[in-house]
Copies of this chain bind each other. A is one copy, B any other.
């Protein structure tokens, strides 16, 4: 029995779900100025994110069962550790329970419902068309923060965090696609770099500039003070350095290191929001 649980945790990619839940908690804490009196709502929101995220991940494995028989034969589904029927029922149970719990808050309910639809579309269709898939991943990543903010009744600051995260993630996904160009091509996947070559780097840069452009808004609106502005400006300088490096030498290797570098800076951006909320 314990082994079965392990397989189900593997199916939903529990680490990935926990990361998303953690993002929701951070979003909720930022939006409530670290008012731990509201932690109950925030934890409820992070549970919903865990469930809906688990639904999406399980659905992806269900969709990929045939490909995984060759590529990842040890995953719970192709190795028959979990039957396809059980996995399907389980994944929809996760989604339904997530949506039911979200009824405590209208925005959370709407986002849980919309994200479930989007995750379904992603698994069924857009994982193999990364041009749209990238936007979906970016939207889902950003929405985690709004979800936390909504649970404590303050979406404003998380709305800016949502936009910054959306554009930075979108940018990073395109740069990752540039790195994975050959692999994607051989698998028949469509991506921006496959279709538009090196010019897709400019799209990634455009999105990153949008993220940079919107990042001072919490300071301009007086939500956060000078410590935030200083922290976020350091992040923006680092972003620009990453972009310049990639522009100078748009090779797959640099794309790979840039994408890792951007991921680190994105975590620093999140830290800047925490600093802004605390100081």
> Measuring CB to CB, which residues of chain A are less than 8 angstroms from any residue of chain B?
106-107, 110, 113-114, 117-118, 121, 124-125, 131-132, 135, 155-156, 159, 196, 199-200, 202-203, 206-207, 209-210, 213-214, 217, 220-222
Contact = CB atoms under 8 A, between A and B. Distances in A.
Given A206-B213, A213-B210, A221-B196, A121 B135 contact: no
A107 to B, nearest CB: 7
B206 A221 contact: no
A181 B134 CA distance: 38
Nearest to A190: B156
Contacts of A114: 114, 117-118
Given A200-B221, A220-B203, A131 B156 contact: yes
Closest 6 CB pairs of A and B: A210-B210, A196-B221, A202-B220, A114-B114, A199-B220, A110-B121
Contact of A155 (B132, B155, B206): B132
Given A131-B156, A206-B217, A210-B210, 15 more contacts: A106-B121, A107-B121, A110-B121, A114-B117, A131-B159, A132-B159, A196-B221, A196-B222, A199-B221, A199-B222, A200-B221, A203-B220, A207-B214, A210-B213, A210-B214
Contacts of A213: 206, 209-210, 213
Contacts of A124: 106
B106 A110 contact: no
Main secondary structure of the interface of A (DSSP, over half): helix
Nearest to A215: B206
A135 B135 CA distance: 17
A213 B210 CA distance: 8
Contacts of A118: 110, 114
Contacts of A107: 121
A234 to B, nearest CB: 20
A113 B131 CA distance: 22
Contacts of A206: 213-214, 217
A101 to B, nearest CB: 18
Contacts of A209: 213
A135 B220 CA distance: 19
Contact of A135 (B125, B131, B159, B202): B159
A94 B85 CA distance: 36
Contacts of A217: 202-203, 206
Contacts of A132: 155, 159
Nearest to A162: B135
A198 to B, nearest CB: 10
